[in-house]
């Protein structure tokens, strides 16, 4: 069985411990490869390699960095099919989704930041009347740590390492232990692309051993993290006293607000996607759906019909819409929330159970798309992140009322509003406590825009020049003449 290797100092290497963890294919519920069970010794080797590579990489001409990253882009594109297949097997998502969303986005991430770095400009300030002027250098911070989750493995991993490398930093990265495969395949492509040794180092293993060692290491100057809010809090507690730069993209419990005057067909089709794409395992999925009362019954009926038509099954089949849940642990967590919803008095309109998928996936971890009705906005089911194919539907009567419902949670990542009333759309966009608001669309991304959350959904912004700024430090130089 395949043993994944760490990527340190330009080479693929075994963990120092010689120990490996099981890597599961969630669609069949079986181990299909092994992951290095690395520890702080492997992280030390990676930090040493990143430190050694930093002087040369930070002084490499931006255009040369661009050329190397674009070679990587070409290699990812050339290997799109095999990467998509690997992502689907490792994560459980439909291969069609990996082929059209995950891997193309990894390509876009590298392409975007390879070019963006060439357009990052420094400022100067003329101190009129003081015979002086200032210019501001923007220098790469040094060795940085990038830690990513399991839901969009290569997509989110590259969303961090692409700007870090493009900015001139060297990186010690840890993909989720649950979905390490495409990061491993990427390390092979980095070697093929001629990325200098030590610029990117990938250490596989668990959060408590590898992730913590990266966060705690004194030579790692900045941490870019995407994952759960509790983990983000633990990272902040360790990193803050060391004055590290921190970018934290955390959990969400996003509202989807539907007014009676919306473009109904467009709303319905998009709401099915925003609820159940990637088995609902996207931090931006809208899991609390608020519907204006005049169209509540119609929406309920039509939404149920559409959702019941979704095909749950083998992620490798082209007709599959909803694949497997990423791990048994996460499967159990989602099922326990469905139980909680029931205990809180909710009615399960559809789903709520694990369907049997015949054939090779009969032992996989599947959950049918689940719609729950009849719960108050402030119960636990409606306040806590479930991160699975589970949504609640609730009627509302006024703009103020739904705004109160939407803003009642501790999270503030994204919100979706469906209305043809322009004034109302702008009013709500300004008042929603959320880092991202989509009006009449969902997951429409322009990589130049700031991406991130407020409240317990995180600190800092990714995307555009924000990420390049995060991985660089400003230094003002004042010249008297």
Q: Is 43 in the site for ligand NDP (CB under 6 A)?
A: no
Length of the chain counted residue by residue:
481
Alpha-carbon distance 94 to 285, whole Å?
Answer: 17
- Provide the phi-psi class of 279: left if phi over 0, else alpha when psi is between -120 and 50, else beta: left
Q: Is 91 in the site for ligand NDP (CB under 6 A)?
A: no
Structural tokens at position 238:
């360790």
Cα dihedral value 77, 276, 354, 298, nearest 10: -150
Q: Is 387 in the site for ligand NDP (CB under 6 A)?
A: yes
Q: Is 212 in the site for ligand NDP (CB under 6 A)?
A: yes
Each residue 343-362 as x (binds ligand NDP by CB under 6 A) or -, in order, gives --------------------
Active site residue 249: yes
Alpha-carbon distance 398 to 428, whole Å?
Answer: 12
Q: Of the ranges 1-9, 31-39, 270-278, 450-458, which one interacts with ligand NDP (CB under 6 A)? A: 450-458
Shortest Cβ 204–ligand NDP spacing (Å)? 9
Is the Cβ of residue 311 or residue 449 nearer to ligand NDP in the bound state?
449
Q: Is 207 in the site for ligand NDP (CB under 6 A)?
A: yes
Q: Coil, helix or strand for 8? A: strand
For residue 128, give Cα distances in angstroms to 121, 131, 132, 265, 480: 22, 7, 7, 59, 11
Q: Of the ranges 27-35, 38-46, 130-138, 204-212, which one interacts with ligand NDP (CB under 6 A)? A: 204-212
Choose the catalytic residue: 169, 190, 283, 285: 283
For residue 429, give Cα distances in angstroms to 21, 377, 399, 403: 45, 20, 12, 10
# residues contacting ligand NDP (CB under 6 A) = 33
Q: Which of 68, 144, 178, 257 binds ligand NDP (CB under 6 A)?
A: 178
Is the Cβ of residue 168 or residue 452 nearer to ligand NDP in the bound state?
452
Return the bridge partners of 33, or none: 2, 23
What burial letters (b/e) apply to 341-365, b meaning 16+ CB within 10 Å? beeeebebbbbbebeebeeebeebb
Q: Of the ranges 76-84, 98-106, 250-258, 464-472, which one interacts with ligand NDP (CB under 6 A)? A: 250-258
Q: Is 176 in the site for ligand NDP (CB under 6 A)?
A: yes
Is the Cβ of residue 267 or residue 432 nearer to ligand NDP in the bound state?
432
Q: Is 174 in the site for ligand NDP (CB under 6 A)?
A: yes
Q: Of the ranges 40-48, 75-83, 126-134, 200-208, which one interacts with ligand NDP (CB under 6 A)? A: 200-208
Contacting residues for 63 by C-beta, under 8 A, at least 6 apart: 118
Q: Of the ranges 52-60, 209-217, 263-271, 295-303, which one interacts with ligand NDP (CB under 6 A)? A: 209-217
What burial letters (b/e) apply to 60-99, b meaning 16+ CB within 10 Å? beeeebbebbebbbebbeebbeebbbbbbbbbbbbbbbbb
Q: What is the binding site for ligand NDP (CB under 6 A)?
A: 147-151, 156, 174, 176-178, 206-208, 211-212, 215, 226-228, 231, 234-235, 249-252, 283, 385, 387, 413, 453, 457-458
Active site residues: 249, 283
């Amino acid at each position: 069985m395949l043993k994944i290797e760490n990527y340190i100092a330009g080479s693929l290497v075994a963990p120092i411990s010689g120990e490996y963890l099981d890597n599961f294919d969630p669609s069949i519920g079986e181990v299909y490869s092994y992951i290095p069970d690395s520890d702080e010794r492997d992280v030390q080797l990676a930090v040493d390699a990143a430190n050694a590579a930093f002087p040369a990489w930070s002084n490499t001409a931006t255009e040369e960095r661009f050329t190397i990253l674009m070679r990587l882009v070409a290699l990812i594109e050339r290997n799109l099919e095999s990467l998509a297949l690997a992502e689907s097997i490792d994560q459980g998502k439909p291969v069609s989704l990996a082929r059209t969303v995950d891997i193309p986005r990894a390509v876009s991430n590298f392409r975007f930041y390879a070019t963006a770095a060439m357009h990052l400009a420094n400022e100067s300030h003329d101190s009129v009347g003081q015979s002086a002027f200032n210019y501001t250098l923007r220098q790469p911070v040094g060795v940085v740590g990038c830690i990513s989750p399991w839901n969009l493995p290569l997509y989110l991993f590259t969303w961090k390492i692409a700007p870090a490398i493009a900015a001139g930093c060297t990186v010690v990265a840890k993909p989720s232990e649950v979905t390490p495969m495409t990061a491993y395949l990427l390390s092979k492509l980095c070697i093929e692309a001629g990325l200098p040794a030590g610029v990117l180092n990938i250490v596989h293993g668990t959060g408590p051993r590898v992730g913590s060692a990266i966060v705690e290491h004194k030579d790692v100057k900045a941490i870019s993290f995407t994952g759960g809010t509790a983990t983000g809090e633990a990272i902040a507690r360790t990193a803050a006293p060391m004055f590290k730069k921190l970018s934290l993209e955390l959990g969400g419990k996003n509202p989807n607000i539907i007014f009676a005057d919306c473009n109904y067909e467009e709303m319905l089709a998009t709401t099915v996607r925003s609820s159940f794409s990637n088995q609902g395992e996207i931090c931006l999925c809208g899991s609390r759906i608020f519907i204006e009362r005049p169209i509540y019954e119609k929406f309920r009926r039509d939404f149920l019909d559409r959702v019941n038509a979704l095909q749950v099954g083998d992620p490798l089949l082209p007709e599959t819409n909803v694949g497997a849940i990423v791990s048994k642990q996460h499967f159990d967590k989602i099922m326990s929330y469905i139980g909680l919803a029931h205990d809180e008095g909710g009615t399960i309109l559809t789903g709520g159970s694990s369907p049997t998928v015949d054939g090779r996936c009969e032992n996989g971890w599947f959950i049918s798309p689940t719609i729950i009705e009849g719960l108050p906005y402030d119960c636990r089911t409606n306040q806590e992140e479930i991160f699975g194919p589970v949504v609640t539907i609730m009627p509302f009567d006024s703009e103020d009322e739904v705004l109160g419902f939407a803003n009642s949670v501790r999270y503030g990542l994204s919100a979706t509003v469906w209305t043809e009333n322009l004034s109302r759309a702008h009013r709500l966009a300004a008042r929603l406590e959320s880092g991202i608001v989509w009006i009449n669309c969902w997951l429409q991304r322009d990589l130049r825009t700031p991406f991130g959350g407020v409240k317990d959904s995180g600190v800092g912004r990714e995307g555009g020049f924000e990420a390049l700024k995060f991985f660089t430090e400003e230094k003002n130089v004042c010249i008297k003449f």
